[in-house]
Structure 1
């Protein structure tokens, strides 16, 4: 995972929506669901526990979409 950079944390619904938007731009992403991992291991997590990662080389292509998405959800 060290080859990836975290670009967003939030609920599963929001992370999956952003991942879909990035996929349409041709940017591959990886989702890490800490809440589900914790549940399977027998413990829980708090807060924004789903993270979205992309390859750093794709950041320039994804930057505008991520910024627009963050503006949209903060309204």
Structure 2
């Protein structure tokens, strides 16, 4: 595997940061891409309301159960 970042979740800022916290508890580093705030800083608006969460592909197997449980919890 290469060490590339892959998108594992997108949603509101609150939901994305909630999952980020859970992943960081088990030492999985995360990157959040927030086009909404980036657009505000540059003076351009963006469509949509989603924030994206990325992890290294080498952490995917460790993260999958956490991500799936989180998705079930927020969709219940």
Same fold (TM over 0.5): yes
SS in 2 for 1:8: strand
Q: What corresponds to 2:62 in structure 1?
A: 61
Q: Which residue number in structure 2 is paired with residue 44 of structure 1?
A: 45
Q: Measure how far apart 1:7 and its partner are.
A: 0.2
Residue matched to 1:70: 71
Q: List gaps (5 residues or longer) in structure 2.
A: none
Q: Which moved more, 1:25-34 or 1:44-53?
A: 44-53
The residue aligned with 2:25 is 24
| Deviates further, 38-47 or 52-61 | 38-47
Kindly state the Cα deviation for residue 28 of structure 1 after the two structures are TM-superposed: 0.6
Work out whether 1:4 is the aligned partner of 2:5: yes
Q: Which runs of 5+ in 1 are unaligned?
A: none
Structure 1 residue 44, shift from structure 2 partner: 1.5
Alpha-carbon shift at residue 43 of structure 1 (Å): 1.5
Kindly provide the CA deviation profile for residues 19-39 of structure 1, in whole angstroms up to 9, marking residues without a partner as x: 000001111110111100011
Q: CA RMSD in A?
A: 1.3
